[in-house]
Amino acid sequence: MAVRHKVGTIAGTMAVSLAFFSGTANAQTESFNQRAAAYVEQFIGQVPYTYGGTSPSSGFDCSGLTQYVYHQFGKSIPRTAEAQFLAFRGESKSKAWGGDLVFFHVDSDPDSYVYHVAIYEGHNHIVSATDPSQGIAWQAIWDSYVTFGTITH
């Protein structure tokens, strides 16, 4: 039996929205990735970069930011960019979701040392703890020596 909702009601609007945006999260539940990608955006321009930083009150470095955001949603990940890279499952850019991590490598070898990590926002953009002058920032991925990683899909 099909359920019909009157146009102009909240239920009707939600039914139309859910039908139109098939493949997205339902009205009650957002995925871990969606929550992580949205959550990190609150720090843009508001929290400083601090070497070794792991909290919004004192500032973040790159891996401190990713670790903090993941922890807010019940995921325990290692502290450094390299250790996070080793703990995550690699994936292609085409399969990456917002909320996954982007790992910046020292050279074109995808197994080379990781010097930076950021949270992927989709469409070649990241949120990253950059440097003391920029703090937490929305950026385009600036380097071609990157890999993508996930622990959720």
Pair 64, 52 in one domain: yes
Q: How far is CA 86 from the centre of its chain?
A: 17
| 85, 103 contact by CB (below 8 A) | yes
CA distance 34 to 142: 23
| 66, 84 contact by CB (below 8 A) | yes
Global confidence as pTM: 0.81
Pair 25, 35 in one domain: no
Instruction: Give the number of domains in the chain.
Output: 2
Pair 127, 61 in one domain: yes
Q: What share of the chain is helix, strand, coil (3-state, %, to 5)?
A: 30, 25, 45
Pair 65, 137 in one domain: yes
* The pLDDT of residue 149: 98
In order of 93, 114, 115, 145, the CA distances from 109 in angstroms are 16, 10, 13, 8
Domain region containing 89:
31-150
104 φ/ψ angles, rounded to the nearest 5 degrees: -100, 120
Q: At what angle do helices 62-72 and 32-40 cross, to 10 degrees?
A: 130
Pair 65, 11 in one domain: no
Which CATH number fits the domain that encloses residue 133? Answer: 3.90.1720.10
Tens place of pLDDT per residue across the chain (153 aa): 444 434 443 444 333 333 334 344 443 468 999 999 999 999 999 999 999 999 999 999 999 999 999 999 999 999 999 999 999 999 999 999 999 999 999 999 999 999 999 999 999 999 999 999 999 999 999 999 999 999 999
